[in-house]
Amino acid sequence: MKPGKYAIKRLRQAGRLKGKEIQVLKKHIRREHKILDLCCGPGTHLSRLHPEYDVTGVDISEDMVRIARNNNAKAHLADARKLPFRDGTFHVVLLLGYSLGSMLDKKHRNETLSEASRVLKKGGKLILSLKNKAPDPQSASFWEQWEKKNRNEAVAYYEISGLIHPYTIDEAEDEIRNARLIPRLETRESWPDIIFTCRKMA
């Protein structure tokens, strides 16, 4: 079976990691760590970390998992809300590339964060990237119009990567803490990307 158009597009994007993501990863992962790349897609991060690190990928898309495996990555087909791993399996869980924000249902996001927390060892870390709701030059007028109409309701907007839920810092921290994780902001509040390292509570 050939990969679908979306999978092919994601494959072409493979390797285009943002510099800040790479910096954060290098700061918080060690060679002895067991790492889970949650919503791994075609293996963008897996290919950067393997074989130097013990890293496993999970994605709900058969196409994505097939591509990742073709690149010699260890990848499993699974729902992020029901992971096939025991409690406390991993030192680090990665949830990058706005993967969480692409889950427009808040319940879905909460379940995913809870599962990430469950499979982390005590004191382990979730590294999470999100779209910042703070207006930037490209989206300021859009947000001004949206705020007038919708006020406090959740919203998604279309980027190249698809529909993404943009977060305020407070909203992101609340969802993270609800999963028994302690958030630490790694980027400036005005940046378009929000990157957190989230330590599992003891």
pLDDT of amino acid 56: 96
Burial state string for 171-187 with b = 16 or more CB within 10 A and e = fewer than 16 = ebbebbeebebbbeebb
Euclidean distance between CA atoms 162 and 6, whole angstroms: 10
pLDDT of 168: 84
pLDDT in tens, 72-109: 889 999 999 999 999 999 999 999 888 898 888 899 99
Every domain of the chain and the residues it spans: 5-132+168-200
**Second CATH level (architecture) for the domain 5-132+168-200:** 3-Layer(aba) Sandwich (3.40)
112: left (phi over 0), alpha (psi -120 to 50) or beta: alpha
Residue 47's pLDDT is 82
Is cis: bond before 51, omega within 30 of 0? yes
Rounded to whole angstroms, how far apart are CA atoms 181 and 197? 9
CA distance 184 to 139: 26
Contact 83, 57 (CB under 8 A): no
Predicted local confidence at residue 153, as pLDDT: 38
Q: What is the pLDDT of residue 65?
A: 95
**pLDDT average per 10 residues of sequence, the chain (202 residues):** 45 50 85 95 85 94 93 93 97 91 89 98 94 59 49 38 72 95 87 87 86
Q: What pLDDT shows up at residue 7?
A: 44
